[in-house]
Structure 1
């Protein structure tokens, strides 16, 4: 069985890229014709390959979209000059756009990946802000994993640990959300797919309902003095997207 533990990380809000330079190798009309001649799968492979060339020192996600999102993925980045600190914002649209097409400035991200490098490993660990709260009513999540359920201030919290990872689902009581089904799905997924292995700490923080923004679900982990953070509008896909870093998929 494949089991990994992650911890929760709180990172400051990201700033979306404001100015993105177009691809100057081709004219705008040529770029549109070239993009629209690609199938969604071909376009996804092109986006993934482009990002991999831009950030060769890091392994990036390959599985970002869900079946209920528009089928064309694209991305905007904060540039390649600083390979130690960068943001990648992912978009799902009905028409294809190249990576860093200026048109994405008016679009809304569905996910992001952030890399932040700290001066020391201790600072990176602290930035993850791992939550360890294994108190409350025990819940069997399957596969010999026990979750701990407790309520406070209009929310129900479900916590559990796997390896160096801490996982937390916060459900809204007013919306009658139940954190257990999502937790069971995450546990089942982690039986088959590894998440990236933190050096010391990692944190998953999810909301059962699909979020209003891509910042509603986060997966954060520390590798030496570097902190990586994945965000996604869909809670389960936040985990799957992170898993596609350690175990790439064509989906």
Structure 2
């Protein structure tokens, strides 16, 4: 009987020891499982941090990215103006081969101004480098101003009917007659094409240059169209590259092109506004 009791007590002690060992090993397994997610989260956090470092820098709100195409640059210019005026921009501008089109812009309630540049490198619209003449070259300046009504806008146009003004006639080719008028050392050769009044300027001691430029302009406009003005437009081109000016009306808007050195290039830029 004592032997049986001792055997039972020994068996009970073994069972209790086994249960105690099992209870001690379970927490270790649970703790190991709890640590497992922490080990997997760390690489994810490192990957996320690395991904954030790879994000491209944001562009400045003050300008737009440069474009290697004229269409892209002109779209950026239009977007940058942020104006409610119903203006149009040229479809393209004559720029030197290997350069890129860019600009600076200003916008007010009733007026916008665009200074077009050609640059040897990609430059965003309104980039600070454009203030440095060594970085980019001015192509032209465009100013578009809105007047209270079409009548006031039309008063800004120096339209002339040269055939009625008189003057010495000169044949400019393509059945177009020019009329010369001299005064104060200057010689003007003027003619009309549709709603446009055009004139070349030279000095009286270099009269043939004025006629030559007028003939070149007439020939150029045989294959290129100026924008259709509503109501009129005028173009003054200068032999000495100092007073090229093109202005036309579009209802209440008046477009002005200046700061263009080459007279024929001034006409070419204006034809880019034809739609």
TM-score, normalised by the number of residues in structure 2: 0.66
How does 1:14-33 map onto structure 2 within 5 Å?
25-26=58-59
2:170–2:179 Cα contact (<8 Å) kept: yes
Q: Verify: 1:116 aligned to 2:145, yes or no.
A: yes
- Give 1:162 deviation, angstroms: 0.8
CA distance in structure 2 between the aligned counterparts of 1:110 and 1:149, rounded to whole angstroms: 30
Q: Verify: 1:242 aligned to 2:270, yes or no.
A: yes
Aligned CA RMSD, in angstroms, stands at 2.7
- Number of residue pairs matched by the alignment: 207
The farther-off stretch of 139-148 and 179-188 is 179-188
How does 1:98-113 map onto structure 2 within 5 Å?
98-107=124-133, 109-113=138-142
Q: Which has the higher contact order (CA 8 A, sep 6+)?
A: 1
1:155 equivalent in structure 2 = 186
CA distance in structure 2 between the aligned counterparts of 1:100 and 1:71, rounded to whole angstroms: 17
1:177–1:209 Cα contact (<8 Å) kept: no
How does 1:37-48 map onto structure 2 within 5 Å?
42-48=68-74
1:224 to 251, 258, 261: 251
1:138 equivalent in structure 2 = 169
TM-score, normalised by the number of residues in structure 1: 0.72
Q: In the superposition, relative to structure 1, how do residues 106 and 175 fare at CA in structure 2: closer, same or farther (>3 Å)?
A: farther
CA distance in structure 2 between the aligned counterparts of 1:104 and 1:175, rounded to whole angstroms: 37
2:162–2:192 Cα contact (<8 Å) kept: no
Larger Rg: 2
Uncovered stretches (5+) of structure 1, i.e. residues with no partner: 1-23
2:234 equivalent in structure 1 = 203
SS in 1 for 2:224: coil
CA distance in structure 2 between the aligned counterparts of 1:218 and 1:70, rounded to whole angstroms: 27
1:7 equivalent in structure 2 = none
Q: In the superposition, relative to structure 1, how do residues 48 and 221 fare at CA in structure 2: closer, same or farther (>3 Å)?
A: same
SS in 1 for 2:267: helix
- Give 1:245 deviation, angstroms: 1.1
2:213 to 182, 197, 203: 182
Q: Verify: 1:71 aligned to 2:99, yes or no.
A: yes
- Give 1:217 deviation, angstroms: 0.9
- Give 1:112 deviation, angstroms: 1.1
CA distance in structure 2 between the aligned counterparts of 1:200 and 1:111, rounded to whole angstroms: 24
SS in 2 for 1:157: strand
SS in 2 for 1:245: coil
